[in-house]
Amino acid sequence: MRLSPAELTALVDVTETSPHRFLGLHGMAGGGCVVRSLFPGAVSCGLRKAQASSSLPMARLHACGVFELELTSSPDFRYSFEVVYADGSVRTVDDPYRFLPTISEADLFLVGKGDDHGCHHKFGSHVRTLDGIAGVSFLVWAPSARRVAVVGDHNLWNGRAHPMRMLGASGIWELFIPGLAAGARYKYEIVGPHDPTPFLKTDPYGLHFEPSPNHAAIVCDLSGFVWHDEAWLEQRRRGDLRRRPMSVYEVHLASWRRVPEEGGRVLNYRELGEQLAEYCTRMGFTHVELMPPSEHPFDGSWGYQVTGFFAPTHRFGSPLDFMTMVDTLHRAGVGVIVDWVPAHFPRDFFALARFDGTHLYEHADPRLGEHQDWGTLIFNYGRHEVRGFLTSSALSWLERFHIDGLRVDAVASMLYLDYSRKAGEWIPNRHGGRENIEAIEFLRHVNSLIHLYQPGVVVIAEESTSFPGVTKAVAEGGLGFDFKWNMGWMHDTLDFFRKDPLYRKYSHDKLTFGMLYHWTEAFMQAFSHDEVVHGKGSLINKMGAGDDASKAANLRCLLALQWTWPGKKTLFMGCEFGQFAEWKYDSSLDWHLLEYPLHAGLQHLVADLNALYVGDAAMAENELQPECFGWLAADDGAQSVVAFERRGRDCAWVVAGNFTPVERTYRLGVPTAGKWEEALNTDSKHYAGQGLGNLGGVLADSIPCQGKPYSIQVRLPGLSLLVFRQSSAAKPAVKSKR
């Protein structure tokens, strides 16, 4: 097989889409074989057969560094090259172009259909051993590219050195480079379909990245990590989170806690694992939710403008350090949920935007492909390879990093084509409607696969509309999420607590309206980071008129209402101790506030609410079913009092909230006779309240009330919420533990 001048020019100019046709070892029609190599900048090259004591000189076909050697022997042998460069340096390297593709024809077929659920095991960079030779395989999808090359420190970022081959008509480019190892930096040099000027792209499937401004991917090998969370994973597989207490602490890793003695240094993953495990255990949270830990270029995006959909951000350490953090939390009994962002991606040219010189991951039409609110790009969910990319991203976090759940960001923006758009700025679907059919099918698909491959993992939707069936099973026509953030309840409840207590009677319906739709979905009551930024004020500063003590009393009521309301719980960091300042992504929480009783009291309350909620675990078994809840007083707006009953398998709570500063004496219906313990009182002095209450409990009278055969007459301090627990099943009141 001789090289024609045109073929040699294609190799030198790197326009050949299949360099393996000419480089490497090839049999010749008349017998024997020919070996060719390409080493830009080399002045000579020799071929050394395995076990040989010396190398055979190769002929130089082109000054760019193309060499050739014809042999009369069989092509079935191993060899390496001895390369001499102009500076006198000599390198011995194995031939990248003698290896078969690292992906099979069957896998190419599945990728093209969008049915390969393990793309993350094939695409990107992977440390492998092929034919006894250690190296790194590279695989990237760029169907419109005229050429793609792997560039990095190993070849001085020279795009001529390691051109990749396109595998048939798949649009997938592949290369195995012997001798590379974990830690190598690399990018893809691409020539698009229209402009001959090459450009650099980072790896869409990269596991690790270097900081700005270079953003190079870094080869990463996770195979040596040893997990110690087998017991945690086993109980996760056996459990049903819909029937378990779930109290989630939402955290932004860079601003949760810093090291002031070291100039405000951020904690690394290992430090975060140890400190979050201790704090969540002490506070009683069952899970920690991490605002997107994925790689992102701009700190101010908080991680929501992702450029590395498979990579923990470099800011706090390596992927192995991230795994250590998760392992530490699991061994402490704390689950880990991460925010996952399949709704959009940033325009940064080094990443996904116009990846191969065309609109590859995004829609070309801005009415479909541009997110007007955030200035980002929208994935083309109708393209098989894009669905496979996003599905693999989700499964990768769960499989590689043992993540226990995904909170899916901005689901509402995915569901509707006219989301935040005016007339004429969007394109109806094929039925003339506003629903994004491709995105809906994608969400159903990925949720089904998550539950198939990772039983026990939870998927949570941040979804703010009335789209039906968000948490209904896919088999029943739903989207397949496990939980949905209850945005309506959050907004209504905050609107109520913003009011001066004098005027709350006119907004009493804000507290009760949510129960009219509460059972339509599996809800999670969440006060998230979105409520304490952009001038909205901190949670404690949202509380109605009054001094700091009154604001703290209101916040204690709000948090106690959240915990006693049916549904799972999510609370953003800092809200548990009433930070007055809005959250800032670039500085630590104001932990010094815990020196003051008002803030320490709030923190004690949240810990005790968790102890009550988790301790009476039977309450969570049916908290997503209507039979767990009953109103006792829903219409007492004149006094701004609400009261309701919570029913568990072997216990009951009676919850009463008084949301004015005026103390009330109130009669509440109860289902049984005997003593009803005052299990929690937000006015306790332990929480920096006034210490008014019911001396630990009250005896039920044989006086029917509110549809119940018995009743208790209780003292409701001003701005307080109290929980009375059935004495026969009661444990010691949580506030008496301290």
- Residue whose pair of structure tokens reads 């001798």 in the numeric block: 179
Residue 716 CA to residue 663 CA, distance in Å, equals 6
Handedness of CA 226, 231, 236, 238 (dihedral sign): positive
CB neighbour burial string for 1-29, b if at least 16 within 10 angstroms, e if fewer: eebeeeebebbbebebbebbebbbbbeee
Residue 386 CA to residue 368 CA, distance in Å, equals 15
Residue 155 CA to residue 1 CA, distance in Å, equals 28
Choice among 462, 623, 677, 678 that is catalytic: 462
Dihedral angle of Cα 85, 177, 296, 317, to the nearest 10 degrees = -90
For residue 131, how many other CB atoms are within 10 A of its CB? 11
- Identify the helix (H) or strand (E) that includes residue 90: strand 90-94
- Collapsing DSSP states into helix, strand and coil, what is residue 190? strand
Instruction: Judge whether 174 and 165 are in contact, CB under 8 Å.
Output: yes
CA 584 to chain centre: 20
For residue 467, how many other CB atoms are within 10 A of its CB? 18
175: Cα within 13 Å, side-chain hemisphere: 28
What CA–CA distances, in Å, run from 71 to 74, 112, 128, 137, 340?
Answer: 8, 40, 29, 28, 55
> Do strands 294-295 and 66-71 pair parallel, antiparallel, or not at all (unpaired)?
unpaired
Instruction: Judge whether 79 and 95 are in contact, CB under 8 Å.
Output: yes
- Identify the helix (H) or strand (E) that includes residue 175: strand 172-178
Residue 164 CA to residue 186 CA, distance in Å, equals 14
Long-range contacts from 508-516, C-beta under 8 angstroms, 24+ separation: 508/635, 508/636, 508/637, 508/640, 509/637, 511/642, 512/631, 512/634, 512/635, 512/642, 514/486, 514/488, 514/489, 515/629, 515/631, 515/634
Rg (CA), the chain: 31
Choice among 409, 438, 521, 616 that is catalytic: 409
Q: In the chain, how many H helices and how many E strands? A: 14, 38
Residue 582 CA to residue 574 CA, distance in Å, equals 9
621 is catalytic: no
DSSP string, 116-172: -TTGGGTSEEEEEEETTEEEEEEEEE-TT-SEEEEEEGGGTT-TTTSB-EE-TTS-E
- Joined tokens for residue 601: 């009291």
Q: At what angle do helices 230-238 and 319-331 cross, to 10 degrees?
A: 70
**DSSP structural state of residue 316:** G
Residue 92 CA to residue 87 CA, distance in Å, equals 15
Q: Where are the beta strands (DSSP E) in 528-674?
A: 568-572, 629-636, 641-647, 652-658, 664-670
Dihedral angle of Cα 348, 353, 357, 359, to the nearest 10 degrees = -150
- Joined tokens for residue 373: 């609110």
Residue 630 CA to residue 619 CA, distance in Å, equals 13
462 is catalytic: yes
Residues annotated as part of the active site:
409, 462
